[in-house]
């Protein structure tokens, strides 16, 4: 039976507000049975990092300007994954509701399905792209250099979207599964996707491919009404030093 994929308006917001919005779309979306998708931007230069990463390692990977005068925003995501530089990326989130076949699938299978849809959309828009179908373990030199989780676009992982010839990473994502469903937070590194000339066309192509993967009808919808004050509370949480520094 077909479901619906709600396509929300594009918004530009602070790093904390972007994370809060994604989490609220997972936790308390008014239309519980429907998948939902949004692409979004960043008010300022920003970096996000996975929920389980240690802050000391994260800070060691940041450019100098991030620690001098706080020229960039730094936020801990609700999902896992590596450190992501959002200064030149195209960012999206996708929520698959509880009970959908893809939500119930293993994490590696849902990751592959979403990135297969994205790779197809990239090819439609002029960018050569395939999935990373196998991964060699990092070398001793790489392990010594990173001493922890990798920076997201430095090394592609299994089923990331990569260039078929150079192997350069184009897109990655992270996931979080709760009782409400499955949250994807994904990113395309624009410098690696130079073949894309029209990012609105890419967004439309990606939505169409996601709808096929989800057996859903895509529909543009207005921004949902959330309980008063709940989003503000989550923005405060994601912007708090305690959240950023808690590991």
- Per-residue pLDDT in tens (0 to 9) along the chain, 247 residues: 688 999 999 999 999 999 999 999 999 998 889 999 999 999 999 999 999 999 999 999 887 655 554 578 999 999 999 999 999 999 999 999 999 999 999 999 999 999 999 999 999 999 999 999 987 654 443 433 344 455 555 568 999 999 999 999 999 999 999 999 999 999 999 999 999 999 999 999 999 999 999 999 999 999 999 888 999 999 999 999 999 997 7
The pTM (predicted TM-score) of the whole model is 0.90
Q: Which secondary-structure segment (H or E) carries 178?
A: strand 169-178
d(Cα 91, Cα 208) in Å, to the nearest integer?
A: 17
Contacts of 191 (CB under 8 A, 6+ apart): 88
Pick left, alpha or beta for residue 215 (phi over 0 → left; psi -120 to 50 → alpha; otherwise beta). left
Cα 133 from chain centre: 20
Domains of the chain and CATH, by start: 3-244 (3.30.930.10)
Query: What b/e readout covers 169-191, taking b as 16+ CB neighbours within 10 angstroms?
Result: bbbbbbbbbeebbbbbbbbbbee
């Amino acid at each position: 039976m077909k479901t619906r994929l709600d396509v929300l308006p594009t918004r530009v917001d602070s790093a904390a507000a972007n994370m809060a919005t994604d989490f609220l779309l997972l936790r308390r979306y008014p239309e519980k049975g429907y998948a939902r998708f949004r692409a979004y931007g960043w008010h300022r230069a920003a970096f996000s990092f996975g929920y389980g990463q240690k802050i000391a390692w994260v800070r060691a990977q940041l450019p100098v300007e991030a620690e001098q005068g706080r020229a960039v925003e730094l936020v801990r995501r609700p999902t896992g994954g590596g450190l992501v530089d959002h200064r030149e990326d195209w960012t999206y989130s996708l929520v698959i509701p509880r009970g959908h076949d893809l939500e119930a699938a293993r994490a590696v299978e849902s990751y592959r399905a979403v990135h297969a849809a994205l790779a197809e959309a990239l090819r439609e828009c002029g960018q050569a792209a395939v999935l990373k179908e196998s991964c060699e373990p990092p070398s001793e030199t790489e392990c010594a250099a990173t001493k922890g989780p990798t920076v997201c676009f430095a090394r592609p992982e299994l089923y990331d979207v990569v260039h078929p010839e150079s192997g350069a990473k184009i897109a990655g994502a992270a996931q979080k599964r709760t009782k409400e469903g499955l949250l994807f937070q994904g990113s395309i590194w624009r410098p690696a996707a130079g073949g894309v000339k029209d990012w609105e066309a890419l967004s439309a192509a990606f939505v169409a491919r996601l709808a096929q993967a989800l057996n859903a009808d895509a529909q543009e919808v207005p921004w949902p009404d959330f309980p008063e004050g709940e989003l503000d509370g989550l923005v405060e949480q994601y912007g708090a030093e305690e959240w950023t520094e808690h590991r």
